[in-house]
Chain A
Amino acid sequence: MRYAIKMWSNTRMIVLVAVSAAIYAAALIAFKTAIPLIPGVTEVRVAGIFLMTFGILFGPAGAWGLAIGNLIGDIFGGTLGPASIAGFFGNFLLGYLPYTMWLNFFPFSEKSYEWNVKNPKSWSAYISITIISSCSCAVLIGLAVDILGIVPYEVVSRIIALNNIVGNLIGVVLLIAVYELTKNQLGLLWTDIMGIRQDGLSMRGIMGSWLVAIGSIAGMLAGFIPGLSVNLVSWSSVIFIVVGSLIL
């Protein structure tokens, strides 16, 4: 969490927040009606292809960018409401978990912050974190919109998770296409901007990652675990995800 706070003293990271928020919001607005799933409620989020890319390339700036971008998408789309707060935090997780779990989600994690298309470790980290971050976001938003009486948890959490997973898996093509350019030509890899040395594997990081992972997978299974109510499972999952994210 320290980098997510520390980045606000760096001008280039602040600008990256604004630019990534604008790209995400623009994609959300432009493709809002492209492929509707439930008209008026949810659609295939083409903007989902940016999620992991922003997290890996821009780190904390990508996380804040996704959060603000989603809020702006709601503002321009006319759907600003209390659920936008949940959307803010859910989308923050979509950018936050990729860079925080990248080194810590043992045994799937990478050894450095860099993405290497030829390294199976990069792929295992990408795929595993895609699933965990998508499910975490879905659990958090799902519980909030259920409490608010917007859409039942069982319906919306699975739609959001699937939407984000598909977007992230297709989005790997975007990451491959823009990684070298962003890192070497534009010098905009977040670790280079913030001058961060490669952190090693830490017990705290591993614990945080696994708490988030357990919370998100359990949250997706809510309703299928005999003897446990959807409410209990979803609340417990959110607590696991929040505590794990704070530890990371």
Chain B
Amino acid sequence: MNLSLYQDKDTWLHNIDPRTKLVGVAIIFIICLCFNNPIYMAVVALCVFFIALSARAQKALWTLRYILLLLVIFSVLLWPFFTVGKTPLWSWRFLRLTKESLFYGIAMGIRLSTFVIAGLILLSTTKNEDITNGLIKMKIPYPLAFAFSTALRLVPTFVGAGATIVQAQVSRGLDLESRNIISRFGKFIPLAVPMFISAIRYTNLLSMALESRGFSPGSPRTLYYEPVMKRRDWLILSFMIIVLIACLYMRIFLNLGVVMSGRL
């Protein structure tokens, strides 16, 4: 079962170092937090969208189109009623809508979608193993990175096993779609027990296999694939850091891109 969002293509984003992509995505997240004006956020979102297109991540974006749309709608509907602005637009009993809070809601919808698209760029252009290698190279402790990569490898196996158990029980008459939420919740217990037991049996076998091969959590490691930072990686990172500094300057010193002061 393939759950990964990775798409094997030959684009500039696929070929850069995973560390550049991890740091780059973190920078995009921080840039998104610099503004809460929908116009500024739309510019950031558009740039991120073009990066996604250049990485040929349209397929992954299309898969998540409903989630993206719902995130925007939800944010635009919800935020205006939990933030207070100065210019009233409409009110009814305890509900108040202001121009600033409406704009803030729109900006947050765009920000949330930009977060998802930026994350998607990373996931659709980087293999899971490369993410792990990048994390190790960024000095994440090896045992943690090992647990992370092992879990990534086991997830499709367990999802497959879970799906088989669900299908087997449904074919025996288990109804997972009727009655109230609590009782539907409870119906998953008979499915969780065999899933848990079949999965947990891996632990002893895997531990023995690792120990018999001399696995030692604290020892220094070498990697078969050693990611190397090239000149273009440093150029990309330098450019992104300059953009980040410019955005921070605009927000902190010029107070640009803000409709709701006091909030990120």
Seen from chain A, the residues whose Cβ lies within 8 Å of a Cβ on chain B are 8-12, 14-19, 21-23, 25-27, 29-31, 34-35, 38-41, 44, 46, 49-50, 53, 64-65, 68-69, 71-72, 74-76, 78-84, 147-152, 154-155, 166-167, 170-171, 173-174, 177-178, 181-182, 186-188
- Are A19 and B154 neighbours in the complex by a CB distance under 8 Å? yes
Q: What separation, in Å, do the CA atoms of A46 and B190 have in the docked complex?
A: 12
CB distance from B256 to the nearest CB of A (A): 17
Q: What separation, in Å, do the CA atoms of A38 and B71 have in the docked complex?
A: 10
Q: What separation, in Å, do the CA atoms of A38 and B67 have in the docked complex?
A: 11
- Judge whether B229 is part of the interface by a CB distance below 8 angstroms: no
CB distance from A177 to the nearest CB of B (A): 5
- Are B207 and A12 neighbours in the complex by a CB distance under 8 Å? yes
A155 CB contacts on chain B under 8 angstroms? 78, 82
- Are A17 and B193 neighbours in the complex by a CB distance under 8 Å? no
Q: What separation, in Å, do the CA atoms of A72 and B184 have in the docked complex?
A: 25
Q: Interface extent on B, as a size class?
A: 35 or more
By secondary structure, the A interface counts as helix
- Are B64 and A78 neighbours in the complex by a CB distance under 8 Å? yes
- Are B162 and A30 neighbours in the complex by a CB distance under 8 Å? yes
CB distance from B39 to the nearest CB of A (A): 16
| Complex: chain B residue closest to A24, CB-CB | B151
Q: Which 7 pairs show the lowest CB-CB distances between chains A and B?
A: A40-B70, A80-B119, A81-B115, A22-B154, A26-B158, A18-B150, A21-B151
A-B contact count (CB 8 A): 217
- Are A29 and B188 neighbours in the complex by a CB distance under 8 Å? no
Seen from chain B, the residues whose Cβ lies within 8 Å of a Cβ on chain A are 3-5, 29, 33, 36, 60, 63-64, 66-67, 69-71, 74-75, 78-79, 82-83, 104, 107-108, 111-112, 115-116, 118-120, 122-123, 128, 141, 143-144, 146-148, 150-152, 154-155, 157-159, 161-163, 166, 176, 181-182, 184-186, 188-189, 192-193, 195-197, 199-204, 206-207, 210-211, 215, 217-218, 263-264
Q: Out of B181, B182, B200, B217, name the residue touching A19 (CB < 8 Å).
A: B200
B4, B159, B196, B199: most-surrounded residue (chain A CB, <10 A): B196
A49, A50, A81: most-surrounded residue (chain B CB, <10 A): A81
B112 CB contacts on chain A under 8 angstroms? 81, 149-150
Q: What separation, in Å, do the CA atoms of A173 and B162 have in the docked complex?
A: 18
- Are B119 and A78 neighbours in the complex by a CB distance under 8 Å? yes
| Complex: chain B residue closest to A37, CB-CB | B181
Q: Out of B64, B192, B211, name the residue touching A11 (CB < 8 Å).
A: B211
Q: What separation, in Å, do the CA atoms of A65 and B197 have in the docked complex?
A: 16
Q: Out of B29, B148, B150, B159, name the residue touching A30 (CB < 8 Å).
A: B159
Q: What separation, in Å, do the CA atoms of A12 and B147 have in the docked complex?
A: 11
B263 CB contacts on chain A under 8 angstroms? 149
Known: A23-B195, A27-B195, A81-B29. A35 touches B181 (CB 8 A): yes
B202 CB contacts on chain A under 8 angstroms? 15, 19
Q: Out of B71, B185, B210, name the residue touching A40 (CB < 8 Å).
A: B71
CB distance from A240 to the nearest CB of B (A): 23
- Are B115 and A83 neighbours in the complex by a CB distance under 8 Å? yes
B157 CB contacts on chain A under 8 angstroms? 22
6 A-B contacts (beta carbon < 8 Å): A8-B141, A19-B203, A49-B192, A76-B155, A79-B67, A81-B115
